[in-house]
Chain A
Amino acid sequence: MGSVLGVSGESTLTEEEAAALRDEVVAELALVVGDRWVTAEPAILDGYAWQYLAEAATGERWMARPLAVVLPGCTEDVAEIVRHCNHKGIQFKAVSTGFGAWGAAAQPDSMVQIDLRRMDRILEIDAKNMYAVVEPYVTGNQLQTEAFSVGLNTHIAGVGGQTSVLASATSMMGQGWDGVSMSFSCRNLLGAEWVTPEGEIVRIGSFESAGRWFAGDGPGPSIRGVFRGFAGALGGLGVFTKAAVKLYPWEGPEALEVGGASPYYETEIPEHHLSALCIVDDWKGMAELGYRLGDAGIALAVSRNAPSVMGAVLTADNNEFADIYEVPFVHELYYTLVVIIQADDAEEFAYKVDVLKTILRELDGGMIANLPAHEYTYWLGRFIRTLSRRVKAKGLLKSAPGTLGLFRTFGKRYGYRKLTSSMSALLYEAVVRSGLNMRGVFRFGGTFWTAMGSLASWDNAIKGARVGAQIKKRYIDEGKFFDDGADNAWGGLYENGAYSHLEELACYDPTDDDSGANVIGYIFETNLASAEHFLSLPLNACGPQASTFFSPLCGGYQNWQLAIKNTYDPNNASEGSSYVIPDYKPGRGLRKLAGNVMSDRAEIDLTQDDL
């Protein structure tokens, strides 16, 4: 289908010219980093051209191959590389853990890929003042493990604990499962070391003045605002080489005990921690549950996961998933929130759990949680009653034998006594350690993309989820996406409910020829609906294409973004195909696709919850 997004293209060089340039660049950068850490070996370069979501960005399996890849060892190396690229008139883009098409080149032979893999130190954990300073290749899971050992925890982006803390905080987005207590990645940034697009080293926040990273704003205006907003520059505005991030209290052990074996590891839920799958009747109940939990301020995590995601987390493979997903008691688990509570001691724990119970009673809901036996049974009963109301209303009880099969499957695996406590443990693992995310999205069809997901009021987020599901339903009906029931909205609360997000996940097979076009169509249609229904800017409002669409509706912010890009990157050296492209014009493919979408859009009807 060619370049749908209009940002990728052919090389402007002949093969000979490209080869000569490659040789030159490798030889010159070797003087900076040494021979070992720069290469133009095609087999190595292709490791950076194969990226998640390439099918949507290029319509093919591959992104463009960079000119060379270089692995700097320190900030000064990075600055030197960046200056060199400016000098030579070539582009550069850095990746940390490098997960996504936005990290790759859009045009062949035009860009040096800077892989920050060698910069992987946790430079400091200030336990007293609750922050950490990390280099680019420190992952969420690594930092969390070290933070646990000093009674602290870190926000982990929903993409998973294997990805870079710094990249999320400085350059990407950073929605996560734990936002209610640990915020959103960009809000946790307490300063950064930034190699600007021209190769200057800027240290943002208190560090340069005070030698410590406790504050990220000032002197004067916050430079944080220049390089990232709802999203960062996705690599399009220089390179970040250090980041200081907030850490948060962890009322758990120095290390979590993990039992079992792959694929059924089971983390022992620590004392004074609750892992609860809470259920209510409908979206109205979900709205109330979210607002009340936010007001109460009791939760470590409040996360909404659709039945398909939970089914994936709890199962080893798609076959097993398909079996259990037939059971109505699984696939009707729509109106649930995973609530994790931690407490300092028994008294605080009892108070927090009692608040949760009070809220659930008010909303006629229930929960499956690691409670003492008698309470557990009571709340399980309430859970089943709440679910049954829905299942009965939909006339689905005839599938009861499937339910028995489900219990047999899991009873065999975990033992009947542990059946639902294992569910609590797995959800705890998924939410607290962000360790099971890939199951929930990549396994079904091979990949996924997502839509809606503005950071906004909870009511607005719920409305967005419902609109998104209705749009997605048509794609499902046409066989383009996995049939997850259409409502596969993932997200939750941030900062005790100050704002929220729900994004509508869509899973599909990236090897289908038209998968890229399907995804772009889905993005286009959901973006359009976000505008029409005033749902705030969706997460797909990033990049030149979406900014071109949304900017006129939002005060012309694209003009200001362009001004920032042109001001700080006068040579356009920092590859910004997912950020801002000077002189961007939408490609023909995109215009054609937009026409198709416009002629065949889903009707949005928000009078009913069920699709």
Chain B
Amino acid sequence: MATRSETRHQSLDDLDHLAAKCPRCSLCKFPPLVAVRSHARSSICPSYDEYKYHSHSGSGRVIIANALHDGRIDVTEGTRDVIFQCTMCGGCDMSCKFSTDIEISEIMFALRAESHERCGPLPAHAQVLDNLRGHGHPFDATGGSKDDWLAEITGVRTGLSKRVLLVGSSYALLPDRRRTLLNLVRLLQVAGVEFTVLGADEPDTGTMALHIGDRDLFDTLARDFVGIFNTAGVEEIVCADPEDFATLRAHFGKVGDLHATVRHAVEVLDEAVAAGSLTLRHRVSHRATYHDPCSLGRRSEEYQAWDGETKKIMGQLIVTDPPRPVNRGTHGVYEPPRRLLQAVPGLELVEMPRRREYAYCCGGSGGVPQAYPEFASHTAHERLDEAGDVGAEIVVSACPGCERNLDGATDGRGVEVLGIYDVLAEAAFGNRG
């Protein structure tokens, strides 16, 4: 088994040269300034909106990294709270890198790992990790098995193949997401996409372990995953859940060499509609807005390993040799879901002020719903308010975490939260299943 030193995870020490450059300018709190469209919806950071201390912004956490590095603070319970009161949505990282090359998200992953090493997990996260270790997914064992959903649909092949639909633990195990999963499968089937699923054998990508900072567990799960898929010669993994998509694309490269191409299901469906193999013929007469899941958008850019040196030329100009690739959130999956929704007859798609790489997080990731449910809920309310600003009747997303967290905050506001697969199913089949 490989050791930690063979991974490409970066420690706070590795990242200090970047963290030390934080000028505390606050760009990390807003979308890129040229894209600020209103006062009310001009924040990019749910954590800073909720807790309001500078420490709860991207810069604030970089400063905590610096303080830990310099030995000014220890990981107390208070410190740990600040570190984990964050959805890890990557908004700060994207906004900062519009102008600089400070890797805030990487620093925050390192910070979580440091916190985990020094102080262990938050009580709410300890159970998640136990679940992952115990039965291969983050949920309570009483929630059933990852193949339960297969009983509700026919014609689905199981086992490893060239193309595997990675259902993900959330879709497989959360009863309130099951309909959406089944709609996805029906859509793939009717589009003639060949795929298999792994059912109860589907390995977890370790996303939660990664976010909680348990790098050892993540590494173990990731390597297991890579081993299974590489050994079987899987050529393409189609992710239903963008959290898996983001982890596979943005983080697996630090641990191993996954041979399969990783795509998200909306990309496959988008191709099918373009090719005419999936027809959307039924009207869905709603004014809808699309909520970009962070994990399908800015957080899903492919990991780019870099082995180079940082040096100074022209006196004090800091350059990298060879040039260090920088992910700025630009190459997330933004167009396919929009094209799909625009292809739905009768559906009027309107954009929220915060969209694409500078979309506002729903609050449902980073371990926040487990540890700070009120924060998760407030964030969902903020996002739904924004949808209300543009008069949306339905809020469509492509992520079970987003859908679930937003759905829990709709109370009385007359807006419906739907998975994109539900909307497409209605357009394709005349019903949402």
Residues of A near any B CB (own CB < 8 A): 37, 39, 41-44, 46-48, 50-52, 61-62, 65, 69, 71, 97-99, 115, 117-118, 122, 138-139, 141-143, 145-146, 160-163, 255-256, 258, 261-263, 265, 267, 316-322, 325, 429, 433-436, 438-439, 442-447, 476, 479-484, 507-512
Contacts and interface: CB of A to CB of B under 8 A. Distances in A.
B318 A318 contact: yes
A138 B42 CA distance: 10
Interface centre among B24, B26, B312 (most CB of A within 10 A): B24
A262 B98 contact: yes
A47 B26 contact: no
B53 A436 contact: no
A37 B50 CA distance: 11
B42 A61 contact: no
Contacts of B52: 37, 71, 115, 117-118
Interface in B1-59: 17, 20-27, 29-30, 32-39, 42, 52-55, 59
14 contacts: A43-B67, A43-B73, A43-B78, A44-B78, A48-B54, A52-B25, A115-B54, A161-B33, A262-B358, A263-B98, A318-B319, A439-B100, A479-B316, A510-B20
A521 to B, nearest CB: 15
Given A162-B29, A317-B101, A444 B24 contact: no
Nearest to A436: B99
B316 A444 contact: yes
B79 A43 contact: yes
B53 A71 contact: yes
Given A43-B55, A71-B52, A118-B52, A508 B316 contact: yes
Nearest to A120: B39
A509 B318 contact: yes
A326 B37 CA distance: 37
B291 interface: no
B63 interface: yes
Contacts of A39: 53, 78
Interface string B51-95: 011110001100110110010110010110011000000000010
A482 B55 contact: no
Given A42-B72, A47-B55, A139 B63 contact: no
A139 B30 contact: yes
Contacts of B54: 44, 47-48, 98, 115, 117
A64 to B, nearest CB: 12
B329 interface: yes
A436 B221 CA distance: 41
The 7 closest A-B pairs by CB, nearest first: A435-B33, A47-B55, A445-B316, A438-B99, A47-B54, A43-B79, A482-B316
Nearest to B67: A46
A518 B63 CA distance: 24
Nearest to A475: B315
B97 interface: yes
Given A41-B78, A46-B64, A142 B36 contact: yes
B20 A162 contact: no
B24 A145 contact: no
B73 A429 contact: no
B215 interface: no
Contacts of A160: 25, 27, 33
B100 A142 contact: no
A520 B89 CA distance: 39
Contacts of B317: 318, 321-322, 444-445, 482-483
B39 A138 contact: yes
Contacts of B26: 97-99, 162-163
Nearest to A445: B316
Contacts of B323: 317, 319-320
Nearest to B57: A47
Given A42-B79, A43-B67, A438-B25, A443 B101 contact: yes
Interface centre among B82, B314, B357, B358 (most CB of A within 10 A): B314
Contacts of B100: 438-439, 442-443
A439 to B, nearest CB: 5
Given A115-B54, A263-B98, 19 more contacts: A44-B55, A44-B82, A47-B64, A139-B42, A146-B39, A163-B26, A261-B356, A262-B94, A262-B358, A263-B328, A318-B318, A319-B323, A435-B33, A435-B34, A439-B99, A442-B25, A444-B318, A479-B316, A480-B315
B320 interface: yes
Given A481-B315, A509-B318, A262 B330 contact: yes
A138 B40 CA distance: 10
A318 B315 CA distance: 13
Contacts of A446: 20-21, 23, 318
A141 B25 CA distance: 14
A50 B315 contact: no
Nearest to B28: A162
A262 B82 contact: no
Contacts of B70: 61-62
Interface of B: 17, 20-27, 29-30, 32-39, 42, 52-55, 59-60, 63-64, 66-67, 70, 72-73, 76, 78-79, 82-83, 94, 97-101, 312-320, 323, 326, 328-330, 356-358
Given A44-B55, A44-B82, A160-B27, A262 B329 contact: yes
A482 B312 CA distance: 9
Contact of B20 (A97, A256, A507, A511): A511
Given A46-B72, A47-B63, A319-B319, A162 B23 contact: no
Given A97-B26, A262-B97, A69 B73 contact: no
A610 to B, nearest CB: 18
Given A41-B82, A51-B24, A162 B30 contact: yes
A263 B32 CA distance: 9
Nearest to B35: A258
A47 B20 contact: no
A237 to B, nearest CB: 23
Given A42-B79, A44-B55, A47-B63, A262 B318 contact: no
A322 B313 contact: yes
A123 to B, nearest CB: 11
B16 to A, nearest CB: 9
Nearest to A162: B26
Given A46-B73, A162-B30, A444-B316, A99 B38 contact: no
Contacts of A145: 36-39, 42
Nearest to B322: A319
B34 A261 contact: no
Nearest to A321: B317
A117 B37 CA distance: 20
B64 A43 contact: yes
A160 B28 CA distance: 13
A481 to B, nearest CB: 6
A261 B32 CA distance: 10
A316 B314 CA distance: 18
Contacts of A162: 25-27, 29-30, 33
Given A44-B82, A261-B356, A265-B34, A442 B63 contact: no
Contacts of B39: 122, 138, 142-143, 145-146
A133 to B, nearest CB: 13
Contacts of A476: 315
A261 B330 contact: yes
A95 to B, nearest CB: 9
Interface centre among B59, B63, B76 (most CB of A within 10 A): B63
A66 to B, nearest CB: 12
A115 B53 contact: yes
Given A43-B73, A145-B36, A511-B17, A61 B314 contact: no
Contact of B316 (A117, A143, A161, A481): A481
Nearest to A142: B39
Contact of A447 (B23, B27, B98): B23
Contacts of A161: 33, 36
Contacts of B25: 52, 99, 160, 162, 438, 442
